[in-house]
Amino acid sequence: MSHIRKKGAYYGRDSNRKKEKKQGVRLLLLREDLEKGKNINKEEIKRKFDIDDKTFQRDIDFLRAFYTENINPEIEIKYNKKKKGYIFRK
């Protein structure tokens, strides 16, 4: 008995994996920049990764939760008006 796979039958799964991979890379790079003391400018990140406002905000929210729950609850990711971007604040 052979299984016939219709064209595109697994499209949704592959597409989700690609999105998750891109998100993972983006989050790692954002985390690395924050830990180096760099300023995370929303518009630059949106252009660099071709993402929208909501995606950027989800990434920041995820990193905030990650640090609070797993690293150090005293570390905050805050918006700095002078630098016009997000930074670590301890």
pTM, two decimal places: 0.78
User: Any idea what DSSP says for residue 40?
Assistant: B
Collect all residues with Cβ–Cβ distance below 8 Å to 40 and sequence separation of at least 6.
30, 33, 34, 60, 85, 86, 87
For residue range 31-56, list pLDDT tens digits in order. 999 999 999 999 999 999 999 999 99
Q: How far apart are CA 30 and CA 49, in angstroms?
A: 11
| Tokens found for residue 70 | 């797993």
What's the rounded mean pLDDT across residues 49-75? 95
